[in-house]
Structure 1
Amino acid sequence: MPQFIQRTELKTFYYTPVHCPFCGVRVMGADPDDETRITACPHTLFIAHDTAFEYRSERFDDTVGLCGMSEDEVETKWRADERGIDGFTDAVRLADAIKVAAYAPEPSAYGSYYGFAPIA
């Protein structure tokens, strides 16, 4: 069975734009006119923050058992993990998958999460 997703954390430079480690596509803020626009490449598994998923690939949904679920059911499932989206996405098992977790400094408790995996 593949290992759990590899994880790296950004705490000081949490605002650094995140790029796919496999193809280099900038996945958040790629549009200079709209810094919040998501541009998922084929390697992107998920883009999330502490309160919701912004993007989930079909491959991610398959891997964590979310296929066929409504958005309410998906939210119920990740909220059942006491660690929230951060912990839920740590459980991804895909070969060579990488997660970037970016945390705004205190007093904020805000985190953003980006998952990527090579295409077989």
Structure 2
Amino acid sequence: MPQLIQRTELKTFYYTPVHCPFCGVRVMGADPVDETRITACPHTLFIAHDTAFEYRSARLDNHLALDGMSEQQVEARWQDDARGIDGFTDTISLPDAIKVAAYAPAPSAYGSYYGFAPIE
């Protein structure tokens, strides 16, 4: 069985900017004028939150057999997982893939998820 994505969780410093562990690119909030702008490097597999994917690479879509699906079909697929988008992205099995999960503290149950993998 292939190894599943490695994961690390940010709970105290959940607001810390996330950088690609392979090339160092800041993937969220990289633009000082627009902190919400996503900057995906070639290693970025996905950027997601509990409510939706913000970014999905073609490599991720291919790996999870999402290519050719509408956004509604993709959403239905991860919503079918009892663990939501967090659990759905835990099923990635690309070699040496890494996931950063950042959780805002209670009472917010909000999570953000960033996935990366070396380029083959």
Q: Scaled by the length of structure 2, what TM-score is found? A: 0.98
Structure-2 separation of matches of 1:63 and 1:6: 16
The runs of 4+ residues in structure 1 deviating greater than 3 Å are: none
**2:45 match:** 45
Identify the residue that residue 12 of structure 2 maps to in structure 1. 12
Q: CA deviation at 1:119?
A: 0.2
Q: CA RMSD in A?
A: 0.6
Shift of 1:72: 0.5
1:75 is paired with a residue of what secondary structure?
helix
Task: Please give the per-residue CA displacement for 1:24-47, whole angstroms capped at 9, x wherever unaligned.
Answer: 000000000111000000000000
Specify the SS of the correspondent of 1:76.
Answer: helix
Find the aligned partners of 2:2 and 2:98 in 1 and give their Cα distance: 12
Compute the displacement of 1:8 (Å): 0.1
Distance apart, 1:65 and its partner CA: 1.3
Alignment deviations for residues 3-31 of structure 1 (CA, whole Å, 9 cap, x no partner): 10000000000000000000000000000
Give the TM-score, by structure 1 length.
0.98
Structure 2: 5+ residue runs without aligned partners?
Answer: none
Q: Distance in 2 between matches of 1:27 and 1:71?
A: 22
Secondary structure of the residue aligned to 1:109 is: coil
Amino acid at match of 2:62: D
Equivalent in the alignment of 2:29: 29
